[in-house]
Amino acid sequence: MRRNFILYYLFCVFFISGSCKKEQAEGFFDYRTLGASAHDLLSSAKYPSLQIEIQYMPGYAPDASALNNLVTFLNSRINKPSGINIIQEEIGPSSLSVSSLNNIVNIERSYRNYFTGNDVISVYVLITNGYYSGNNILAISYWNTSFCVFGKPIDDNTDQPGDVSRSVLLTTILEHEFGHLMGLVDQGSPMLTNHRDPANGAHCSNPDCLMYYNVEAGFTDIISAVPSLDANCIADLKANGGK
C-alpha cells in the first residue's frame, strides 16, 4: 500500500511539473508586471537584441517617420549591440468602439506571434481602431513587454489646422510607453532622485519631460514637438543598465 502511494505521489509531481513547463514554454517571460523587465530591456547582458512586433488594425498603420524616430530614441537609451528589429502586421478590426483592458489582453493573446527567448527580448505593440474605456487615454502599458496605442483618438486630434502632426504625436506616445517598459518612473528603474508625480502614478513631475502624464492622457494641445527625457529620467535608465 505504501509503495503504491509513493508511486502515485511521484506520478503527481511529474505530471504537475510537466504541466508547468508546458504552460511556461510561450510567453512566460512576457506576461508579467509592468516594469519587471526594465533591466533586461536596457542592458545587453542577457538580451543583446530587441524585437518589436507591431500589430495594427486597418487604417491605423504607424508611419515610417514615427518608427524611425522610435528606433533612434531607443538606440540612444538602451544597449542592444545586435540591433533593433521591427515586424509589422495588419490584423482584423475590432467591432468595439471602446475597449477595456480585458479586450486588449484577449486580442494580444489571440494574435501575438513573437515572445522573448534565446538572446532576443520581444516587445508587443497593438494599435487599435477605437478608444479606451470611454475616456481620452491615448495609450496604455499593461505588461512588462506590452502596450496598446488607441488609433482613433490620435487620428481625431492630429493633422488638422491647429493640431499636432500625427507623426509627432505617435512618436511621442511610442517613446513614452517604451519609457514605462524601461521602468520609468520608479516602476522597475529605481529613482536616484525623487521625481515621481505623486498625483499621477509612474510619471515624471517635470512638465517638460517625455514621461509627464499629459503625454499619455491625451492633452495633445501641449505637444508641438516630441519631448525629451529629463536629466532625472536619463540618470535612472543609466543606473539600471541603459545609456
Residue-wise pLDDT for 51-90, tens only, equals: 999 999 999 999 999 999 999 999 999 999 999 999 999 9
Q: How far apart are CA 146 and CA 8, in angstroms?
A: 41
CA angle in degrees (0–180, nearest 5) for 219-62-54: 110
Instruction: Tell me the pLDDT band of 241, cut-offs 50, 70 and 90.
Output: very high
pLDDT digits (tens, 9 = 90+) for 123-148: 999 999 999 986 678 999 999 999 99
In a domain, 17, yes or no: no
Tell me, yes or no, whether 16 lies in a domain: no
Hey, what's the cell of 239?
Answer: 543606473
Contact at 8 Å (CB) between 166 and 156?
no
pLDDT at 199: 93
Give the domain CATH number at 65.
3.40.390.10
pLDDT tens for residues 218-236? 555 556 789 999 999 999 9
Residue with cell 513614452: 176
| Three-class SS state of 224 | coil
The answer as to whether 108 is a domain residue is: yes
Which domain does 122 fall in, by range?
24-239
Verify cis geometry, omega within 30 degrees of 0, for the bond prior to 185: yes
pLDDT of the residue at 162 = 65
Instruction: With cut-offs at 50, 70 and 90, classify the pLDDT of residue 151.
Output: very high
Question: Does residue 1 form part of some domain?
Answer: no
Instruction: Assess whether pLDDT exceeds 60 at residue 19.
Output: no
Reported confidence tier of residue 9, pLDDT bands at 50, 70, 90: very low
* Closest CA relative to residue 143, chosen from 34, 20, 27, 8: 34
Per-residue pLDDT tens for 174-220? 999 999 999 999 999 999 999 999 999 899 999 999 999 987 665 55
More confident residue, 173 or 13: 173
Number of domains in the chain: 1
Q: Is residue 201 part of a domain?
A: yes
Residue 78 lies in a domain: yes
Average pLDDT over residues 96-113: 94
Integer CA distances (angstroms), 237 to 6, 185, 226, in order = 51, 10, 19
For the record, the C-alpha cell of 103 comes out as 479586450
Does the pLDDT value for residue 22 go beyond 60?
no
Q: Is residue 130 part of a domain?
A: yes
Region 33-53: what's the mean pLDDT? 98
The predicted model gives 2-10 an average pLDDT of: 38
Q: Is residue 109 part of a domain?
A: yes
